[in-house]
Amino acid sequence: MSDGPFDVFALIIAVIAFIIAIKASSQAAELRRRLSSLEETFHAQRPVQPPRIPADVWAEASATSSAAPPPLVPQAEPGAEAPLPLVTEDVSPPPLAANTEADAPPLPAPAPGFEERLGTRWVVWIGGLALALGGFFMVRYSIEAGLVGPGVRVFLGGVFALALLGAGEWSRRKESISNIAALPIANIPAILTAAGTAVAFATIYAAYALYGFLVPATAFVLLGLVALGTLAAALLHGPALAGLGVVGAFVTPILVSSGKPDYWALYIYLAIVTAASFGLARIRLWRWLAVTTIAFAVLWIFPGLDTSDLQVAPHAFHVIAGFVLAALLVVCGFMFGPTIEDGEIEPVSSGSLGAYLFGAMLIVLSSAHVDLALIAFALLVGATLLVAWRAPAATGALGSAAATVFVVFAEWAVRANPDMLVLPGGPIAGIAPTATDSAVTLHLVMAAIFAAGFGIAGFLAQGRSNSAIIPVVWSVAAVATPIAILVALYARIAHLDRSIPFAILAVLLAAAFGAATEALARRETRPGAMISTALFATGTLGALALALTFALEKGWLTISLALMSLGTAWISMQRPIPFLRWLAAIFAGLVTARIGYDPRIVGDAVGTTPIFNWLLWGYGLPAASFWAASLFLRRRADDAPLRMVESAAILFTALLAFMEIRHFATGGDVTSAPLLLECALQACVALAMAIGLERLRQRSRSIVHNVGAVVLTVIGGLVGVFGLLILENPLLWRTDVGGAVFNLLLLGYALPAVLMLLLSYAVVGERGKAYANTIAGGALLFALAYVTLEIRRFYHGPILSAGATTGAEQYTYSIGWLGFGVVLLGVGILVNSERARLASAVVIALTILKAFVIDMSTLTGVYRALSFMCLGIVLVAIGWLYQRILFRRQVAPPPAPQTSM
């Protein structure tokens, strides 16, 4: 048999062992360094007592002292200790610098240099690795050279492993007896023991895989014993052996395999290994060991999930056993786990339970929701609630429990053949109930238990902790889990269609959340109480929204969600919970997203009746709801939620107008191309709404009203310029403009000019002069276009693009423009408007330009003469008006004649 697998696994085990040893030893070294630093600081701060001087030293000092006799010492009483004689020579006090240095803490030891690292650390690591590889290569050499038989080879490998283990234990005891402190990151006893366990693993595996001396069961047991022994030795030798032991223990089932896997034996073995590893992690407080164990345990769930004959029972045993062991030994503050401060969520405690919940969820999904898997999953979810109730450190596992519950029910909702649920229930005569029928019943029972368990526990957990995060997590799980389960059941059973029973369930759930909100609002203030109350209020409104979703059609759902925003804003006035304001904004966002998905609200069933169709209800009622909600929200503050609702109100008001105009102009076909009528109405409505928002923002000073007015002004201008003047201009395209006076020209050009003029006056003094003058310039442009097009309509009828331009028509254009300029001048004089007079000057300048460029070249005869004569008369009249009325100069009276005396 080839020895290739032997080499590969031997090298892998050795390298993994020493990598883990280096990492774990480095962590231990850091902890010991910190402890030594604390001890040195403590000793440095203790007061130093002067040492007691022996008597012989005192005698020597007396002999060498000066000739002066020592002072008399009083006679001591019998039985009393004789006092020490005093030194007669002058002893100068130590210098101040010495005292200062003695009182100061010692300087930290310098970092080890290259030579020290090489001699004390790297050599030890390389030596341990060399010992392990030496044992492997010796066995390989003996095979290649044929020196000894297979039995002797295995025996020698075992002897070498025992020798290394013995050397490690001897060196450990030797260091303990001699009080020699070993380097924490180059612990020679630990490295020798690690090499011995690695050789032991390789020897047993070689006896099984290479030579067939051991049956799979015996090899499995021996390798497991070595792994457990390595974990036990880690108590004495440190984390290096712990890493090697846990890796070897979980890799053993891969090394020893059989044709038909026995999952019961595998998972019982893994339960023993997990218990030993968790116990060691608990005793030594090695979090990394607990995390590594959990990761390997979860990975061992996957091999049996992809088989057609999935054995649910042993897999369920594996996750339940691991969950129980984690709860007993890993979770802080629960049973035998480490202690922790109250109110702190510990990641390993929560993650350990979440990992096994994830495993249970995988078993449920892989087994197609069989009853045993569902029951095991339900037990673990219930146990999670119990552990988190008793141990706040595991509160984070509630999120994992809620998430896995939702995944289980959501996957069940989208499984194939959901139509089986709407068929008449009950088994056929002579045939037992199918697995699907029982699974449906079990799912419904589990759904009720989960919803009640999370909701009731989340409500009762409020006020039990001094930390704010603990009750908030409970309230999130209590609100989100029942709603998620209800949505999954609705999708599975009602197929997302109208369902009055589910609407009733949603109303009952909303009532329960509402009662919880009222109860929490009446309690005394506790950490996290405000947020939890807001979350239950959110659940109330969310459940009501679901009830409307379940009971109403698509169009009414849009309306109901908008009304929910209004209701939430009103509730925020009665119960000033900050999150309710955000919830009102969230509902507004949902309605906006719903409109973006289908602007017609109800698809093709909009109707053909102008104004009074589904667009009025689908856009009008949400717009009214958002405007009313903004009034409620503004009473408290001008914040982001208010601005979001105000934006939605402006958006839906504009969309209502634009969609109704499009529906009216196209006869109900909202997908057809735009026409002149539609562009005219769109421009007029946009400008009218901009005027309204300009007036509104002067009172509210809202940035949303400010931006909305500018946006609508821009939209109106773009529709006017590109729609009315270019794309739908009746001079360029064949369009029937209608009657002589009341026609599309009046709607498309005269009315926008008036609205632009009003808008320009609305922004005077509120915005920049350039902004107002630009709008006024647009008004002048559209007014002049209206005059021109009306003259064209007089000569050509309703189709302006047909026919040639005659001399009379050209002359009429000049007279019309000139008259329009005179009217503007008169208005400017009457109301003393400089803007109107400047507009008049612009129109007259254009008339002059037309007269000299067009009329002179195209007109002949009397029309040319009359054109220039009228132009001259008007210009002279304008000059007279400016001199006599606008800029009249007062002539100074002549001086009075002087009379002589």
Q: For every residue of 760-808, which 3-state class applies, written as one string? A: HHHCCCCCCHHHHHHHHHHHHHHHHHHHHHHHHHHHHCCECCCCCCCHH
Q: How confident is the model at residue 223 (pLDDT cuts 50, 70, 90)?
A: low
Question: What percent of the chain has pLDDT above 90?
Answer: 33
pLDDT band at 872 (very low <50, low <70, confident <90, very high): confident
Question: Cα torsion at 548, 550, 556, 561 (round to 10°)?
Answer: 40
Q: Please give the residue that has the higher pLDDT: either 2 or 767.
A: 767
Query: Are 186 and 25 in contact, with CB atoms under 8 Å apart?
Result: yes
CA angle 868–873–877, rounded 5-degree value: 145
Residue type, 717: G
Task: Decide if pLDDT at 57 tops 70.
Answer: no
pLDDT tens-digit profile of 145-172? 555 445 555 555 556 555 555 555 555 5
pLDDT of 84: 39
pLDDT above 90 (res 103): no
418 vs 579, which has greater pLDDT? 579
Could you read off the pLDDT of 382-418 as tens digits, one per residue?
999 999 999 999 999 999 999 999 999 998 988 744 4
Give yes or no for a contact between 640 and 580, defined as CB atoms under 8 angstroms apart: no
Question: Quick one: average pLDDT of 11-19?
Answer: 52
- Asked if 528 and 469 count as a contact pair (C-beta separation under 8 A), the reply is yes
> Phi first, then psi: what are they for 798, rounded to 5°?
-70, -20
pLDDT surpasses 90 at 213: no
698-743 tens-digit pLDDT: 999 999 999 999 999 999 999 999 999 999 999 999 999 998 889 9
Alpha carbon 703 to its chain centroid, in Å, reads 28
Query: Does 74 have pLDDT greater than 50?
Result: no
- The pLDDT of 499-528, averaged and rounded, is 89
Q: Which residue has the higher pLDDT, 209 or 80?
A: 209
Residue 644's pLDDT band (cuts 50, 70, 90):
very high
Residue 677 CB contacts under 8 Å (≥ 6 apart), including other chains: 665, 744, 747, 748
Specify the pLDDT at position 544: 87
| Comparison of pLDDT for 540 and 232, the residue scoring more | 540
Instruction: Report pLDDT digits (tens) over 770-819.
Output: 999 999 999 999 999 999 999 999 999 999 988 888 888 888 998 899 88
584 Cα distance to chain centroid: 20
| 181 three-state secondary structure | coil
Question: Nearest 5°: CA angle at 551, between 545 and 552?
Answer: 85
Q: What are phi and psi of 231, to 5 degrees?
A: -65, -40
Report angle CA 366, 369, 375 to the nearest 5 degrees. 115
Which one-letter amino acid corresponds to residue 863? Y
Residue 738: beta bridge partners?
743
- Whole-number percent of the chain with pLDDT over 70: 65
What pLDDT, on the 0 to 100 scale, is given for residue 28? 58
Least confident window among 231-245, 429-443, 607-621, 653-667: 429-443
pTM here is 0.60
How far lies 707's CA from each of 165, 193, 704, in Å? Answer: 79, 75, 5
- Name the residue with higher pLDDT: 430 or 331: 331
Q: Summarize the confidence of residues 32-55 as an average pLDDT.
A: 58
Average pLDDT over residues 612-638: 91
Residue 348: pLDDT over 90: yes
* Token pair belonging to 612: 């009074």
Q: For position 798, what pLDDT does the model report?
A: 92
Q: Find the angle CA(46)-CA(50)-CA(53) to the nearest 5 degrees.
A: 150
pLDDT at position 682 over 60: yes
Q: How many residues make up the chain in this entry?
A: 901
Higher pLDDT pick, 845 / 109: 845
Rounded Cα distance, 843 and 285, in Å: 91
Q: What's the mean pLDDT in 316-340?
A: 92
Residues 157, 702: Cα–Cα separation, whole Å: 85
pLDDT for 513 beyond 90? yes
62 is written with which tokens?
Answer: 């007396």
Task: Tell me what the pLDDT averaged over the chain comes to.
Answer: 76
**Tokens encoding 572:** 């925020």
- pLDDT-derived band at 61, boundaries 50, 70, 90: very low
Neighbour-count burial for 879-896, b at 16+ CB within 10 Å, e otherwise: eebeeeeeeeeeeeeeee
Q: Does residue 197 carry a pLDDT above 70?
A: no
pLDDT of residue 18: 52
Q: What is the mean pLDDT of residues 838-865?
A: 79
